[in-house]
Chain A
Amino acid sequence: MNQDYCLAIRSLTKGASPDAGQPPWYGWEPQPLSEPTIAHRFLSICTKHADRISMEDGRGALSYRWLHCQSSRLAQHLVNHNDFEVGTHVGLCLSNSPEYVAAFFGIQLAGGVAVPIPPHQQGSRSQQQIGMTRLKLLIENGQHRTETSSRDTLLVRLNATTVPQSCQQVRPMGRLAMLLFTSGSSGDPKAVMLSHQNILSNTQSIVQVLPVAPTDRSLANMPFAHALGNSVMQTHILNGAGLIFSSDLLFPTALLNALETKQCTSLVAVPEVFDFLLRALGTDSLKSSSLRYMAVAGGRMDPDRAVQLADQISPVEFFVMYGQTEATARLACLPSRQVEQQADTIGMPIPGVEFSIRNRDGNPVNDGQVGTLFARGKNIMLGYWNDPEGSHSVLRNGWLNTGDRAAKNPVGNYTICGRENGLVKIQGYRFHPNEIDAILLKLMPDTQFATVPYADQGQTRLALFAHHPENVPIDPTELRQICYRQLARHMVPQLYQVIESWPLNSARKIDQAELSRRARQINSSRSYNRSA
C-alpha cells in the first residue's frame, strides 16, 4: 500500500477573535433533501466506477475505490474535529494532486464548504483570503512533515482500504459547496459562492458539448484553485473519467511529451498555453496516438491562432469555450467543426444556459447589435461571499451581467466585443489594472500610477506608467521589483515607464487609450531591428 499520500489539517482558530456571528447577508440555506449534492454524485460515481482509474501521477495509478476510501477517511477526521461542523469553511492549500482531489471530496462528504487557496502566492494574499472567508481549518500537503501530529495540526495518511460506515450516506448539509476567488467589476478580490446545484449543472452541461467519457485521461495542468482547473477536476471526477498529473508542464515540449507518454485523451487550457504549444509545434502537425480533443477557455484566443491550431492538431478536435467564475466555469462553446468558419465567436450557450444581449436600459437588442451580455442558468452563482451590494450589482432577477459586450451573428453564434468595465484576463485570471495602482499607491502615496493593457503578439500585457507631481525621480527597476513582491504573478506589468505629465482626454481624465497606444509603441521600438 502506498504510504506517500498524506494531508495535514491545520486549525486556524487559535488566537482568533470569537466569531461575531454570521454576517448580516450570508446566502446560506439548507440543501433541499430532494436535490442531489456533490457528495451524492461522488458516491454514485465511486460505486459505479470503483475499479476505474481516477487519477495518475508519478507515484502510480489510483482507482475510484482508492479515492472513495481516502475522501471518506478525510471526511471522518473533519467530522470528528473540534473546529468543524456542517457548513464550516475549510481551506485547501495544495497543488494539483491526488491529495487535492481526495481533500476536496472529503470536505464535500463531511458537509463542509471547500475554499481553494492557491499554494504559490504571496503570504499576505493568502492571509487576506483566509480572513475574508473566515476559514476555520486549512488542509495542506502533509507528505514531508516529520511530526505525527501537533496541537494545531492533524496528519491524515491516505492509506485507507475501507469506507467507514458513517461515510456511506450523505449528511444533511447547506446549499453552499465552495467559494472560489475572483476579481469583481471594480477590481477588488471577491469570493464567488457556488452551490451544489451550480457545480452539478455546469459539469453536466459541459459533458453535453465536450466528448468527456469515463475512458478519458485529461492532463490536469490548470490549477484546481482557479475556476477553469476546478471545472476540469469536477467534470472528470463526477463523470468517472481520469485525471493525469505531471511536472514541468510549463514547457510546451514537456506538455506535448506528457500528453503522449501518459496516453492523455484531452487537454483543457488557457490561450497562453496554446500559444506556446503553437510555437513548439512550429509548422508540424501534432502527432498523438491517444488525444481526442483539446479545448481553450479562460480568455480570448486569437481567432487566427485558433484556426491554425485546429488545423495542426486535426483530427484531434479543438473547442473554443467562454465562461467566468460567477457562472461556475463555462457558459458557451464553439464546436470543433465550426472553428474554421466562426473562430471569432464563442459559439452558443451550453445546454441549460440562456443568453440575453441588452442595451443600457436593460432591454434586449436586435440580432447583430452590440449590447451587454447577460446569462441565466442553474450554474449562475449564489452571489459574492459577504458582499450583498456587489452581488446585486451583477445579479438581477436570476440573470448574471457578465460584464462583456457582445453581439449575436446570423448563424446564432455570439461574438464578444470588449469589456464593460475595463477588466482584463491574463492566464485565465480576471482583474482590473487599477488594482495594481491601488496597491502601489499605498506604498508610494506621493506618486501617481496608471496601469493599462496593451496587445503584444495576440496577448494582453500590462504597462505601468508613473508620474511624480514634483518630478521626484522614479526608478522603473525599483517599481518592477516592488510589483514582483506585492502582486500576484499574473498581475505584474511587463513594461514600466515614467512620464512627465499625463495625457488627458476630453473629460480631463487620464487618457487610458493613449497610454495603451504609447505602450504598444514603446514595446515595438524595443524589438530587434534586423536591418540595423
Chain B
Amino acid sequence: MIPQTRETLLEFVRTNTVTSNPITNQTDLIQNEIMDSLMLMELVLFVEQAWGVQLMGNDFAPNYFRTVEQLAQLVETRRLSQSA
C-alpha cells in the first residue's frame, strides 16, 4: 500500500503548489517553502478524507510532514493501527 499512498500524496502536493523545482518523495517541503499553514491544513484534511485516518496529537510534527515519504509512512501506520 505504501507505494500507492506515496504516489497519491505526491500527486496531491504537486497539484496544490506552484514551484519551478521538481517535487519528489524526498523533497524537503518545509525548507523549499512548499509547506505553509494552508498546505498543512489541506494535507491533513486530504489524508483524513482519502484514507479515513484520524491524525491526532504528536502526528502534527515537522518530522512527519517534511517529505512525502515521511507522511506516507505516517498514513500507513495510522491506517493499519486504526483498522485493527
Name A's B-contacting residues (CB within 8 A).
120, 248, 250-254, 272-273, 276, 279-282, 284, 427, 456-457, 459, 477, 480-481, 484-485, 489-490, 492, 494, 526-530
Set A279, A284, A480, A528: member contacting B49, Cβ < 8 A: A528
CB pair B17 A276 closer than 8 Å: no
Name which residue of chain A comes closest to B52, CB basis.
A528
- Asked whether B16 is an interface residue with its Cβ less than 8 Å from the other chain, the reply is yes
Assembly CA distance A252 to B37 (angstroms): 10
Assembly CA distance A526 to B58 (angstroms): 26
Given contacts A248-B62, A251-B65, A253-B61, 4 further A-B contacts (CB under 8 A): A120-B33, A276-B60, A279-B56, A282-B56
CB pair A250 B37 closer than 8 Å: yes
Assembly CA distance A284 to B48 (angstroms): 21
A contact residues around B52 at 8 Å (CB): 527-530
Q: How many residues of chain B get a CB closer than 8 Å to chain A's CBs?
A: 28
Name which residue of chain B comes closest to A476, CB basis.
B15
A contact residues around B55 at 8 Å (CB): 279
For this complex, 23 residue pairs linking A to B, each with C-beta atoms less than 8 Å apart, are A248-B62, A250-B40, A251-B40, A251-B60, A252-B60, A253-B60, A253-B61, A272-B37, A272-B41, A273-B37, A279-B56, A280-B56, A284-B57, A427-B37, A484-B17, A485-B18, A490-B38, A492-B38, A527-B49, A528-B48, A528-B50, A528-B51, A530-B52
Q: Interface readout for B28-46 with A: 1 if CB under 8 Å, 0 if not? A: 0010010111101110110
CB pair B48 A481 closer than 8 Å: no
Name which residue of chain A comes closest to B56, CB basis.
A282
Given A279-B60, A530-B52, answer yes or no on A250-B35 (Cβ-Cβ < 8 Å).
Answer: yes
A contact residues around B57 at 8 Å (CB): 253, 280-282, 284
B contact residues around A530 at 8 Å (CB): 52
Scoring B33, B50, B60 by chain A CB atoms within 10 A of each residue's CB, the highest score goes to B60
CB pair B60 A280 closer than 8 Å: yes
CB pair A253 B58 closer than 8 Å: yes
A contact residues around B60 at 8 Å (CB): 251-253, 276, 279-280
Given A282-B56, A484-B16, A526-B49, answer yes or no on A427-B61 (Cβ-Cβ < 8 Å).
Answer: no
Assembly CA distance A485 to B19 (angstroms): 9
B contact residues around A485 at 8 Å (CB): 18
Assembly CA distance A485 to B48 (angstroms): 26
CB pair A494 B42 closer than 8 Å: yes
B contact residues around A456 at 8 Å (CB): 45
Set B15, B37, B38, B62: member contacting A480, Cβ < 8 A: B15
Measured CB to CB, the closest approach of chain A to B50, in angstroms, equals: 6
Name which residue of chain B comes closest to A122, CB basis.
B18
CB pair A276 B41 closer than 8 Å: yes
A contact residues around B16 at 8 Å (CB): 480, 484
B contact residues around A282 at 8 Å (CB): 56-57
Assembly CA distance A206 to B30 (angstroms): 35
Measured CB to CB, the closest approach of chain A to B71, in angstroms, equals: 13
Measured CB to CB, the closest approach of chain B to A405, in angstroms, equals: 27
A contact residues around B44 at 8 Å (CB): 279
Assembly CA distance A415 to B37 (angstroms): 28
A contact residues around B38 at 8 Å (CB): 427, 489-490, 492
Assembly CA distance A484 to B20 (angstroms): 13
Set A250, A273, A529: member contacting B36, Cβ < 8 A: A250
Assembly CA distance A279 to B55 (angstroms): 8
Measured CB to CB, the closest approach of chain B to A111, in angstroms, equals: 36
